[in-house]
Structure 1
Amino acid sequence: MSMRVATFALSGSLMNHALTTQAKLAEKQTQEASGLVSSDYGGLGTDAGKLVDLEVSLSRAQAYADAATQATERVEVMYSATGSIIDALTDARTTLSSASVDTEDLVAVQETAASLLEEVVSLLNTQYEGRYLFAGTDTLEAPVDLSGYTAVDADTADTGYYAGDSTIISVKVDADRTVSYGVTADNEAFEKTIRVLSLIADSDSDTLTDDDLETLSNLLVEAQDEVIAVQSGLSLAAATLENAAAEQEDFVSIAETSIDDLRSADLAEVAVAVAQYETQLEASYAAVGKLSSVSLLDYL
């Protein structure tokens, strides 16, 4: 094959144009097949920075949402445990209200109180995901141990049974907000619960009077009211955490949509571009082919 000198430059230009068109066609065909603008950040141009920022923000928001959700689950377990403690105090009040200083009555009351005290201790030693929930930050050790504990009297508070710390757990739910949640087993409501049940279980029928029974009954009421207040606080904490998690999940949803918009190709637009580039490429190859077929002999 031969070519006139005058057509050589034109042929080269057409070939370069064809190769450029071919590259653009290949890019659009890749987008059409994958549904993505580009498989890497480099192909996104100025949108690459936006995408990176969105992905970082999404990852952070999801971490906040997960942390808030996990904290909510812990609070719900604690809420259930305090509910059971409230029920135990109700049972103790019912039993005590029907008792008198009669020895047989007191034996039944003592047995009931001892059983309920054991239940309360078990509830305050509740574990969830390997953590003792009522132990503050000392989550690896059971917070309540009565082996060396003896209630002194109805008026003397004593948290000697408690082995945890006094730190209330908190969780970061966004860049500027931390939510405290939970309660420790040395809380006044639980101390009073353990104290009154211990006093009833260990009461001396020989010296107990009707006034003593009334004092213990009143102490049960106080303990129950305070545990109910603790449970209400847990409910508020759970609601706060749920709202915080929902806010972060909403942001995650919006960020995911924005990321998808930046990464995803407009398939209708891509299909039109593919057809246009194919037409241009066919025309370029046809022109190159026609020029390539021209010979000097045709003009002699």
Structure 2
Amino acid sequence: MVDQISTYANYQNSINNILAAQSSLAVQQQQISSGQIADTYLGLYNNNGAVDGYIALKENLQQITNYTNNNHNVLNRLNTMILSMDNVLAMAQGMQKDLTTRLSTAGDSIQLTNLIRNTYLPTIENSLNINLEGKYLFSGTATNIEPVVHLSTTSNVLNGTATSNYYQGNDTILNAQVTDTININYGVTADNQVFQDLIACANNLITADKKNDTKALSESMDTINKIVTDLTSLRSNMANNTVTINSANTSFQNQKLTITQIISEANDTDFPTAMIKASSNTNILMASFKLLNMMSQLTLVNYIDL
């Protein structure tokens, strides 16, 4: 009787071995075919208990993606503004050159007033009214409002002082959180003092040119020289912001590659190990099936004989 119970127990053990081996083999076959240890967080946890770290890495990766996407948008705005700044600077340098000619012996050959009204001021206005994807870049945070109006028809000089009467935006400088620890104010508004001074200088040159006021024209030379210097410095500050953002994005890219590799190693199948486990479970299955087959051949007589 004891032998009969033992034989039945062996039979049940064989069934259990087959089921366990089949389940384990299925897991190894899934890993080998998919290249991943598991297709769920629970599966990953059951495999190596790393689910918390895995989720943290995925969240970190998403944060990096969010930062780089935002930084990319900021860079697009900054680079567009820098191109506009180049145009404004070119107009200031043009006035500087033409004023030099106006003050020389060849002064009568240049139509300074016409150049300022028909070329320089319209180009400055168009440059400061640049928009990207429907948003005006020199309006501060009032990006739906065209910042500059009527430069060619209305002077911004009131009582001898430069004003921002041409400006319709607000005074808020655009801001960006570049990394967890780097926050920058970037860009510039069209009412910046250097723009006010440039536009006022242009209007003063028109007045002096019409009156042929050599003294006033000469005094404007010092003003335009300072404006060119200030515009160059302002452009450089904007360019420095692009360097900061690009450096942050490069760092993010390196972090992204590292984290992606860690995640890949955590979830990718160790093929040699998986193959060995699959082979072992196959052998167990074959042996169990063989034993089960032998036991299934036994009849009641065999059990009684035992």
Structure-1-length-normalised TM-score: 0.92
What is the identity, as a one-letter code, of the residue corresponding to 2:204? L
1:203: how far off? 4.4
Gaps of 5+ in 2: none
Verify: 1:252 aligned to 2:256, yes or no: yes
Secondary structure of the residue aligned to 1:42 is helix
Secondary structure of the residue aligned to 2:187 is coil
For each residue in 1:74-102, what CA deviation from the matched residue of structure 2 results, as whole angstroms up to 9, or x when unmatched? 11111111112111111111112111599
Verify: 1:262 aligned to 2:274, yes or no: no
What is the identity, as a one-letter code, of the residue corresponding to 1:164? G
Q: 213, 230, 241: which is aligned to 2:245?
A: 241
> Comparing both chains, which one has the higher relative contact order based on Cα–Cα distances under 8 Å and sequence gaps of 6 or more?
1
In structure 1, distance between residues paired with 2:202 and 2:209: 14
Q: 169, 173, 181: which is aligned to 1:176?
A: 181
For each residue in 1:161-196, what CA deviation from the matched residue of structure 2 results, as whole angstroms up to 9, or x when unmatched? 111111111111222331221111111111111111
Q: Is the 8 A contact 1:151 1:199 kept in 2?
A: no
1:200: how far off? 2.4
Q: Is the 8 A contact 1:110 1:203 kept in 2?
A: no
Q: Is the 8 A contact 2:22 2:281 kept in 1?
A: yes
Equivalent residue, structure 2, for 1:34: 34
In structure 2, distance between residues paired with 1:199 and 1:7: 112
Distance 1:138 1:144, change over 3 A: same
Q: Is the 8 A contact 2:198 2:224 kept in 1?
A: yes
In structure 1, distance between residues paired with 2:77 and 2:231: 18
Equivalent residue, structure 1, for 2:172: 167
What is the identity, as a one-letter code, of the residue corresponding to 2:197? K
154-163 or 275-284, larger mean C-alpha shift: 154-163
Q: 228, 233, 237: which is aligned to 1:229?
A: 233
1:18: how far off? 1.0
Distance 1:94 1:153, change over 3 A: farther
Q: Is the 8 A contact 2:156 2:166 kept in 1?
A: no
Q: Is the 8 A contact 2:103 2:218 kept in 1?
A: no
Q: Is the 8 A contact 1:159 1:186 kept in 2?
A: yes
In structure 2, distance between residues paired with 1:228 and 1:179: 20
Secondary structure of the residue aligned to 1:38 is coil
Q: Is the 8 A contact 1:200 1:216 kept in 2?
A: yes
Q: 100, 109, 114: which is aligned to 1:111?
A: 114
Q: 270, 275, 279: which is aligned to 2:283?
A: 279
In structure 1, distance between residues paired with 2:296 and 2:141: 82
What is the identity, as a one-letter code, of the residue corresponding to 1:21? A
Distance 1:139 1:150, change over 3 A: same
Q: Is the 8 A contact 2:113 2:209 kept in 1?
A: no
Regions of 4+ moved over 6 Å = none
233-242 or 143-152, larger mean C-alpha shift: 143-152
How many percent of aligned residue pairs carry the same amino acid? 22
What is the identity, as a one-letter code, of the residue corresponding to 2:227? A
In structure 1, distance between residues paired with 2:32 and 2:16: 24
In structure 2, distance between residues paired with 1:154 and 1:193: 16
1:149: how far off? 3.5
Secondary structure of the residue aligned to 2:183 is strand
In structure 2, distance between residues paired with 1:55 and 1:262: 12
1:292: how far off? 1.4
Gaps of 5+ in 1: none
Q: 70, 75, 82: which is aligned to 2:73?
A: 70
Equivalent residue, structure 2, for 1:214: 218
1:153: how far off? 6.7
Q: Is the 8 A contact 2:173 2:185 kept in 1?
A: yes
Q: Is the 8 A contact 1:135 1:142 kept in 2?
A: yes
Q: Is the 8 A contact 2:18 2:285 kept in 1?
A: yes
In structure 2, distance between residues paired with 1:296 and 1:95: 118
Secondary structure of the residue aligned to 2:111 is helix
